[in-house]
């Protein structure tokens, strides 16, 4: 089980994302994100080496708030063979030192554990509470040859498309503080 350290992170996760998000093709904001954490969940790396987080962050810089889903993998060393666009950035962790933060959709450990979640082999954990599970996360899949696809812009009430063979849905906080649910991951046949 991963340990959640109560310590400093420089830059913070939201500061790191504020620099990275505008460079993504799916970003819908003004170019200068104003981010707040809206929710998310974690998965455990059985080896205890990689932190795995699925973060929902709301950007209020545009005419309408937009909530983005960014899965992140935190590593103690660079990911060998990673594509140039896989790295979100580096942070200094008050306990663990320098961490390389990768777009989880491009990290093999996160993809492997996400597939295990879909198959019911591992549970989703609360984002900020050691040892607590997150009962709001729902995962389903039919079939074995599957391809998870990360939904980058979250929409309250969204469902997986009819041709999907599975999904991961979860809750996050909307702008008015109410809890909403939507699809974080769509699963297609391999």
Q: Please write the tens of the pLDDT for every residue from 164-178.
A: 999 999 999 998 889
β-pairing verdict for 153-154 and 66-75: antiparallel
**pLDDT value at 26 more than 80:** yes
Quote the tokens at residue 49: 């080496």
φ, ψ (nearest 5 deg) of residue 38: -110, -15
> What percentage of the chain carries pLDDT values higher than 90?
73
What pTM did the predictor assign? 0.91
Enumerate the domain spans of the chain.
9-189
> Which string of DSSP letters, residue by residue, matches the chain?
------S-EES-HHHHHHHHGGGSTT--S-SS--EEEEEEEEE--TTS-SEEEEEEEEE-SSSS-EEEEEEEEEESS--TT--GGGEEEEEEETTTEEEEEEEGGG-HHHHHHHHHHHTTSS--EESSSTT-B-TT-EEEE-SSSEEEEE--EE-TT----TT-SEEEEEEEE-TTS-EEEEEEEEEEE-
Least confident of 31-35, 101-105, 129-133: 129-133
8 Å CB contact between 111 and 52? no
**pLDDT value at 15 more than 80:** yes
- pLDDT, the chain, mean: 90
Can you give the pLDDT at residue 125? 94
pLDDT in tens, 104-163: 999 999 999 999 999 999 999 998 777 789 999 999 999 888 889 999 999 999 999 999
Which residue's structure tokens are 């954990």?
Answer: 125
**pLDDT value at 73 more than 90:** yes
């Amino acid at each position: 089980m991963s340990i959640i350290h109560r310590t400093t992170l420089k830059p913070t996760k939201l500061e790191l994302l504020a620099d990275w998000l505008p460079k993504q093709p799916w970003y819908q904001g003004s170019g200068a994100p104003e981010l707040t954490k809206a929710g998310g969940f974690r998965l455990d790396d059985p080896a205890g080496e990689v932190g795995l987080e699925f973060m929902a962050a709301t950007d209020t810089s545009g005419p309408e708030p937009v909530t983005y889903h960014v899965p992140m993998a935190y590593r103690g060393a660079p990911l060998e063979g990673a594509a140039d666009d896989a790295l979100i950035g580096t942070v200094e962790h008050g306990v663990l030192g320098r961490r390389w933060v990768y777009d989880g959709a491009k990290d093999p450990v996160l993809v492997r554990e996400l597939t295990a979640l879909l198959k019911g082999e591992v549970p989703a954990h609360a984002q900020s509470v050691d040892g607590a599970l997150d009962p709001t996360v729902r995962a389903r899949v039919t079939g074995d040859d599957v391809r998870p696809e990360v939904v980058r812009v979250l929409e309250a009430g969204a469902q997986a498309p009819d041709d999907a063979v599975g999904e991961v849905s979860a809750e996050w906080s909307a702008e008015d503080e109410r809890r909403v649910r939507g699809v974080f991951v769509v699963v297609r046949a391999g």
